[in-house]
Structure 1
């Protein structure tokens, strides 16, 4: 891979390649990723749409479009793009994990559970899907299962903020308030935005 001093040079180079070969899905995709790294979601979305228009089987393109939809708060759009990705590549774990996440946000716990099980069957070590599964267990009221899964995640990735947040919720449920406080501190230390209500409840104990 060529080396570029900055993202703008890389973007210029990709645009040059597209002038010579405007229907190259991969180049559109790479340009989309470059725009994402600049947080330019409008340009990124345009490039990913061009990528899948030219390479309709490019599941990663649909996943990226789903991510941009989620950024905008468009859960249905995110869901539909990830479903499309699974239709193109049924054994790609990432869109299944994303579908599980969105279904959980939409409150459909059964569909969330099915999608997350599928994601984790395809990739046992998919941390994002494991974390979503722990949120699902909490939503289902199965705190023991959530706790087991969270310990597994944190053994592997001790700086994963969302898992510390969920561990705090589980510890609070079992009224282990000191542990819950430590977990919340860890969640914040690793960049997770803790719900103010949860923080107030735990810190008042």
Structure 2
């Protein structure tokens, strides 16, 4: 286990030595991929993770990590494809559905995002990041009340989740509840969220 190692390079060396004696073990390749990701060596991580799925074609977590590497280099198509593969391997795995939704949001396709997020939340109703992405999708569609309600649900569940406060501020603003919008934006900032400067400027006259 990684916890036994003080040094990531020692851990990587041991994994490589295990792989040298058994190059068919998908778990060793997967763990090597994660270790390389922790060093931000995306090329080596990708190679290890591809070896993991060659040896175990249904290793959904490896496809999710490969999707993350694609995202790192701005390849939304690759990110979507790998996460769809992960969801095909394990339909009840909420993370790839949330990642699929993220790609759709990046492409300005909130309806497709909402469909994927409903699947993520079906398998994990407390998945805060997925709920917040749902709030974002509602906002993109102009469904500000639905956005507001979703944000309130998140904040009830996890009061310190800053992105939900930011989304709530945007929803209040669109609903012309400016004092509440300013309060929610302040809370988002207090919790470390970088509220867009343009939005803060719009709030100024209402403070």
The TM-score normalised by the length of structure 2 is 0.90
Residues 61-87 of structure 1, C-alpha deviation per residue, up to 9 Å, x if partnerless? 111111111122211111111111111
1:182 to partner: Cα distance: 3.2
- How far apart, CA to CA, are the structure 1 residues paired with 2:33 and 2:16? 11
2:144 maps to: 143
Change (3 A) 1:146 1:12: same
1:204 to partner: Cα distance: 4.5
2:168 maps to: 167
Mean Cα deviation higher: 65-74 or 186-195 = 186-195
Correspondence 1:96 to 2:93 = no
Change (3 A) 1:156 1:46: same
2:196 maps to: 195
Change (3 A) 1:4 1:138: same
- How far apart, CA to CA, are the structure 1 residues paired with 2:77 and 2:62? 17
- How far apart, CA to CA, are the structure 2 residues paired with 1:193 and 1:175? 22
1:157 maps to: 158
2:127 maps to: 126
2:16 maps to: 15
- How far apart, CA to CA, are the structure 2 residues paired with 1:200 and 1:43? 44
Correspondence 1:60 to 2:66 = no
- How far apart, CA to CA, are the structure 1 residues paired with 2:145 and 2:84? 31
- How far apart, CA to CA, are the structure 1 residues paired with 2:47 and 2:192? 30
* Structure 2 residues without counterparts, runs of 5 or longer: none
1:96 to partner: Cα distance: 1.0
RMSD: 1.7
1:77 maps to: 78
- How far apart, CA to CA, are the structure 2 residues paired with 1:109 and 1:74? 19
Q: Is the contact between residue 111 and residue 137 of structure 2 (CA under 8 Å) also seen in structure 1?
A: no
Instruction: Count the aligned residue pairs.
Output: 205
1:99 to partner: Cα distance: 0.9
- How far apart, CA to CA, are the structure 2 residues paired with 1:159 and 1:178? 20
- How far apart, CA to CA, are the structure 2 residues paired with 1:187 and 1:8? 38
The TM-score normalised by the length of structure 1 is 0.91
- How far apart, CA to CA, are the structure 2 residues paired with 1:161 and 1:36? 26
- How far apart, CA to CA, are the structure 1 residues paired with 2:41 and 2:156? 35
1:108 maps to: 109
- How far apart, CA to CA, are the structure 2 residues paired with 1:136 and 1:42? 33
